[in-house]
Amino acid sequence: MDDQELLEAATEFAFPVYPDGHEFVDVAALRVFVVWRSPGLWAVTDGSGGSCFDAAGVREHELLPSNRDDDFLARFRFDRAEAVRVATEVVVPAVRAVWDRRVARVKGVRS
């Protein structure tokens, strides 16, 4: 299988919030996912199975398939390229900022 065939066969991509070797012990758990949901439609998720993100990085509960109307699909489903862009350019930086603030607070308490 060549690289293009592997890309076409993939159903999930994981993007780290922090690089390997970061000070967080559980850095591997801090990932944002792009997950195939149906032909041509991908979701950006936190990996919990319960939340997804829109193009602005707003996180909401991911509705059950039977409850997903056209508005939900328009907000939370993307083609693969757009889902990767949202994950890497919007959601990963936002999640990193949240964790950076949390760590700063904890370090401030320990000082």
Alpha carbon distance 31, 87 (integer Å): 10
Q: Please work out, in degrees rounded to the nearest 5, the angle formed at the alpha carbon of residue 48 by the alpha carbons of 25 and 77.
A: 125
Element (H, E) at 38: strand 31-38
Residue carrying structure tokens 């862009």: 85
Quick one: what percent of the chain has pLDDT higher than 70? 88
Dist CA 39 CA 19 (whole Å): 31
CA-to-CA distance for 26 and 60, rounded, in angstroms? 24
Residue 110 has pLDDT above 70, yes or no: no
DSSP assigned state of 67: G
Tokens (6 digits) for 54: 């829109």
pLDDT greater than 70 at residue 3:
yes
pLDDT in tens, 46-87: 887 789 999 999 999 999 999 999 999 999 999 999 999 999
Whole-prediction pTM: 0.85
